[in-house]
Amino acid sequence: MEDHLLKFIQRVRFLSESGCDGDNEITAEYTRIRQQNGSLKEKYGLTTETGGLKENIKKNRYKDILPYDQTRIYLSPTPPEYNSDYINASFLTGAAENKTYIATQGPLSSTVVDFWRMTWQYNVQVIVMACKEFEMGKKKCEVYWGSLSEPSTFGPFTVSTVEESCPNEEVIVRTLAVQYCDETRTVSHFQYTAWPDHGIPYVPDGILGMMELTSMRQRHHTGPLLVHCSAGCGRTGVICAIDYINDLLQQKKIDEDFSIMDIVLDLRRQRPAAVQTKEQYEFVFHTVAQMFEKFLKQKQRGSPSFYSNVVPPKPAVRSVSIGGNRSFDPTTRKPPLLRPRSSHPPPSTKMNDTYAVVNKSRHSAAPATIHHYDNLDSEKQKTPNNALYSTVKPKIRPAGTPPVPDRTAGSSNQRRPVAPSELGHCGYESLPDFRTRDSQLFPPPTQGTSDSHSSTDDDYEYVSNVSTISNVSNTNSYSAPGGMGFNCRIKKPKGPRDPPAEWNRPER
């Protein structure tokens, strides 16, 4: 088996070093997976009729992510008011014997009771949450657990948080006490907080460390492992695929026929859009390669651990509620040899202290990253470069408005006003003609278009930046001796103002 592990590691390393060629190979595999969605549904007769019923539509977070009728979870009625058997969740078969997963969406406020009905009915002891409550300003999951100070009640279920700890910067571990009627059960809750929306984690270490902890809590428990994100397909599918391959590794079933594409296709046969984007599919490759690499190193040392870079839980337990604003600092760990190319930069600094200037170039060198979602029309995913900004309508001079006359046509360093007919291809209005006097810029006299908007010389006064006021005595001249021919008059103020400093000097 070691030879097959080395072969896979070398393949992923080659894909990483080959740049675009490696991307093309993984993209080609992912494209084949997407193309087989229709044949999978036809081959296995997969339907989504129950999730599309009128009474169940409001129970789906996304209307285009519905569980297959052949693999969906059936709920048993509890109290009379909770008699519906539908929840947006699916059974997934694992690699190990009797190993199953429940892949489900993040609970809505109207489906939290159904979520705990499912957890209780199938005796779930470990829950993996692969998202934060809010991401990109949108609610991705309802809070379905109580705080450390006060339990929360969801229908007939009372959920209390007994402990809450952070084994590393990316994971929050909670111990929940769930009470129904006179019985109380303990549920371990793992929340991964460093997975950016529409992206992938910067490095796989946090995911692998969290999965080691879930494996320790799950142990020989025969109940299913419940995994959810927001929609219950993309990030959920990645975690299920990684854990599935880890079970194959423990059973030494990695052979020459090992194929991540076949595993993802098998997951998609049970849950629609599992491993939803090409970036997520690539992340599975790099995470599995790192898992294999650590396995070979651990085997040389004689350690039984198959996951990598595990950080044990801290003994100190937090006594306050922890928010979701946690970011991973890649400088705190040694970067791995195999790193996925994330569509998001590493959050090495706080975003509140980060500023950026975005400028749209005339000729884009490379198109922006496009995430390929199975539940979206492929034609709608092609974003043109010219759609980055809204269209700006230029201000054109009204028809019939004469251009500003050029009073300094003989001067070689003056800008001549441009008529509307001479505007460039952008159609923007030309800048007004400015003239200067003693290195000071002033606008030219306004040319009115009608009698009602005309201005007389009484509305203006002449100014100068020279030491004496006598230099502006010649009001008929638009330029001072030695100047550049710019008009030096401004419009008179409508109210009183302080006199110039020259007027306050004593006469000599």
* Domains with residue ranges and CATH for the chain: 2-355 (3.90.190.10), 392-508 (no CATH)
Amino acid at position 420, single letter: P
**Average pLDDT in the chain:** 75
Which of 229, 233, 240, 488 is labelled catalytic? 229
471: confidence class by pLDDT, cuts 50, 70, 90: very low
Range with top average pLDDT, 117-121, 292-296, 494-498: 117-121
Q: Can you tell me which residue has the tokens 């809070």? A: 143
State the distance between the two ends of the chain, measured CA to CA, in whole angstroms. 106
User: Residue 268: CB partners within 8 Å, gap ≥ 6?
Assistant: 33, 37, 40, 237, 274, 275
* Backbone torsion region of residue 503, taken as left when φ is above 0, otherwise alpha when ψ lies between -120 and 50, otherwise beta: alpha
Which span out of 79-83, 84-88, 471-475 was modeled with the highest average pLDDT? 84-88
**Model confidence pTM above 0.75:** no
User: What is the enclosing helix (H) or strand (E) of 249?
Assistant: helix 234-250
Segment 33-82, tens digit of pLDDT: 999 988 999 999 999 999 999 999 999 999 999 999 999 999 998 888 88
In tens, the pLDDT along 304-350 reads: 555 544 433 343 344 433 333 334 344 444 444 455 554 444 544 44
Taking a C-beta distance cutoff of 8 angstroms, is the pair 339, 354 a contact?
no
pLDDT at 247: 93
Token pair in block for residue 508: 């000599």
- Write the pLDDT tens digit of every residue in 113-148: 999 999 999 999 999 999 999 998 899 999 999 999
Active site (annotated) includes residue 181: no
Residues in CB range of 387: below 8 A, 6 or more apart: none
Beta bridge partners of 179: 158, 184
Q: Which is it for the CA torsion 217, 218, 220, 223, positive or negative?
A: positive
Structure tokens belonging to residue 198: 């529409």
Residues 6+ apart with CB under 8 A from 7: none
Provide mean pLDDT across the span 175-196.
95
Residue with tokens 């090992």: 258
What is the pLDDT averaged over residues 11-30? 80
pLDDT of residue 1: 84
Q: What is the pLDDT of residue 437?
A: 47
- What does R_g of the chain's alpha carbons equal in angstroms? 35
Q: Residue 32: its pLDDT value, please?
A: 94
pLDDT of residue 112: 97
